[in-house]
Structure 1
């Protein structure tokens, strides 16, 4: 199947397009909705796909849905990676257990790395797809 690259990329970004409150402790809409979480912190990508993919034969819609699905799968893999990393680093695990907001200190560096990558790699797929 041929996908629309732009709509796939937008679908991949869509789950994280929510608004944070002032201290970033809550989001609207809640991640339980945007990331199809019913129990715990794991996304349910298969539930998302079964609810939305078969509803349309349009390439544009399927492209967006598959991008969204890829994001949910990736978030689960990323979550597993972070949980394993914490388990292998007792100091980090202890710090994060005592201070639930410490994750934002770590994420601040991750977000900085995202922007650094985009600046240093002008031929990345996002800039190539959406630059005018």
Structure 2
């Protein structure tokens, strides 16, 4: 998956928006005004990766299974992972992880906000 495909998939998520709240290089995707994924348009060591929320137990399993999944770079390492786009993580899994990240964000919202999201 390349970064344009990643961007397109993120924008296809129900209620997703994109912005540059930190700087002109870090693209952030949100639902209900909460981040679910971000990535730099400037690759680290010539590698593009995306940071996304992940359940801590699932995160541990994924890091053991894939070289392309690591603790979240510049984020809370308990709840965020970095997924390298050009390593051994298959595109369908990247999409599943993005959807999982959205679910992790939504389930932390107050019930009223969860219901509001579900009605979109």
TM-score, normalization by structure 1: 0.27
The structure having more radius of gyration, on CA atoms, is 1
Q: Which structure's residues are more often helix, by fraction?
A: 1
Higher RCO (CA 8 Å, separation ≥ 6 residues): 1
TM-score, normalization by structure 2: 0.28
